[in-house]
Structure 1
């Protein structure tokens, strides 16, 4: 994941294309170009069988240039940054500000690609991609573009934070104005990669992130809470408030449009019910059993959060950040208990 700032100064989270996927797209494009080039050269040879050799050579050279430079330039311009290889690999070329690629940028990329791929056998592109944080080759650096992954799993941008029932009442009273977008994104990435980390790494990393978040939010949690549970509750409440603000803005825009388009004396435009309320909607909190000892109030001198757990100490009441990993269930999810004994084995992801 990388952050991209648009021309309107809006930060977007994008998924930069990896070197392997870009390599597959380049190989497919080179294969298509070779096939088209051979077909054109054979057609020119047959069409100019009795013509001068210089005329035949000139037409063949024009076909080669048209395929090498015109193929990527035409496809990326007309299809908004996608060649046949990128379309098969699920990639797209965009400008550095997230906008669609222009003809000038596509031409610069195509001319640089002739040097990178056809003359120096992809060595400059490979070295530049390895040295760039966003995997840019020389053509991307010259043209001001970036290759992003267009087809991603739905879980990548899906909600990774859920509201634990035990902390729903506390989350409604949170003051989140000091929580920056960068820190929230760090917590979100931690929750999304929760099952990919080793237990010792995710415990220490979660503790550090939870300590940073606890400094900028208030009031403190109602007891000692696991870091991932605390972060999940804060991010879920933050998302709920953002959705309510978005509904308010949409309602105000609909109201202005309705007043400007309706004739005098007509009934006002309907407003979504979510935006008519005086504040963010609050879902009823399910009443469950009393909190177990991990949620009890800390005593004098005790830390606010639980230390790294003793995995053999018994069950823990909470909500998983992203649901159970693949495999047979080892406990009740998501509103039951963590399984006793060791954590479940993290899923094997490609």
Structure 2
């Protein structure tokens, strides 16, 4: 499901980065990393001048692994796939389903990069990128990642539509562990481009994706819920779970379990305190207050647009 072709011969896919832009980003990263490695090597040579040859060799190997291997892995993990070179070239490393990478993805890419890039001077990585249909090197294949263009024209940067309010929280108990990344990618790409497709083609493709998603979760889609709304609601539930998982890991790493933790870009977290619970009812003798003009206007305001119409 990583490459879904519609009836209009429209391929729903990410925008893979081309080899020249990836090579330029890699060159920037290598210049920065090697400069840091040389500076650290000179400093270590001065600091370990009094040690024997074996100790100096051990320190040199440790510096090589930490700077040339460990540093790129740490940078890609903390920046969610954007090293200094990729940031300058407008590129990002993402999972096959379009989501942000984690430590295990960066670790596999960094470990394979030692052979592909450092030991062979990038020859193996260039050959693999030229042979691959999506420009992936061997590290991307084993890690399940893809380098994509992050800077796209405004006309193509379409956000995933929000789920309708009447479906919010309805799939909170749904088991999403059996859904593969390729199916999530197809659902995400369909929702961002469904308005560009023919109405009949869009409907049939949505029904096909909804059937695949229901088969993977083991729970049929609710009766009366249109396929696009069902896809948007389930994808929104999955994104909410990912956001809560990332926020929990950041809060746990900060060492303050009771604190809110640092804010994440694009993630809205609402703290739950005593004021969020039910308040005691007012005394029976108190008379109900008449609604003010402002509250009447607020209640009459239409709900926020989500891109879907409520059910009839």
Alignment of 1:1-350 (within 5 A): 14-157=14-157, 188=196, 270=299, 272-273=301-302
Q: Go from structure 1 to structure 2 and tell me whether the alpha carbon gap of 1:124 and 1:273 turns closer, same or farther (over 3 Å shift).
A: same
Q: Go from structure 1 to structure 2 and tell me whether the alpha carbon gap of 1:67 and 1:188 turns closer, same or farther (over 3 Å shift).
A: same
CA distance in 1 between counterparts of 2:17 and 2:278 reads 45
> Who is 1:311 aligned against?
none
SS of alignment partner, residue 299 of structure 2? coil
Contact 1:93–1:101 at 8 Å: present in 2 too?
Answer: yes
CA distance in 2 between counterparts of 1:102 and 1:275 reads 33
Report deviation, 1:106.
Answer: 0.7
SS of alignment partner, residue 15 of structure 1? coil
CA distance in 1 between counterparts of 2:199 and 2:110 reads 50
Q: Go from structure 1 to structure 2 and tell me whether the alpha carbon gap of 1:158 and 1:111 turns closer, same or farther (over 3 Å shift).
A: closer
Structure with more relative contact order (C-alpha pairs < 8 Å, separation 6 or more): 2
* Aligned-pair Cα RMSD in Å: 4.1
Contact 1:92–1:148 at 8 Å: present in 2 too?
Answer: yes
**Deviation string, structure 1 residues 75-97 (Cα, Å, up to 9, x no partner):** 01111111111111111111112
Contact 1:3–1:14 at 8 Å: present in 2 too?
Answer: no
**Deviation string, structure 1 residues 226-260 (Cα, Å, up to 9, x no partner):** xxxxxxxxxxxxxxxx9xxx9xxxxxxxxxxxxx9
Report deviation, 1:188.
Answer: 4.9
Task: Report runs of 4+ in structure 1 exceeding 4 Å deviation.
Answer: 184-189, 213-217, 260-269
Structure-2-length-normalised TM-score: 0.50
Q: Go from structure 1 to structure 2 and tell me whether the alpha carbon gap of 1:101 and 1:158 turns closer, same or farther (over 3 Å shift).
A: closer
Report deviation, 1:272.
Answer: 4.5
Report deviation, 1:156.
Answer: 3.1
Q: Go from structure 1 to structure 2 and tell me whether the alpha carbon gap of 1:55 and 1:274 turns closer, same or farther (over 3 Å shift).
A: closer
CA distance in 1 between counterparts of 2:98 and 2:26 reads 22
Report deviation, 1:27.
Answer: 0.6
Structure-1-length-normalised TM-score: 0.45
**Deviation string, structure 1 residues 267-324 (Cα, Å, up to 9, x no partner):** 6863643779xx98xxxxxxxxxxxxxxxxxxxxxxxxxxxxxxxxxxxxxxxxxxxx
Q: Work out the number of aligned pairs and report it.
A: 189
Unaligned runs of 5+ in 1: 5-10, 160-180, 190-212, 218-241, 247-259, 281-350
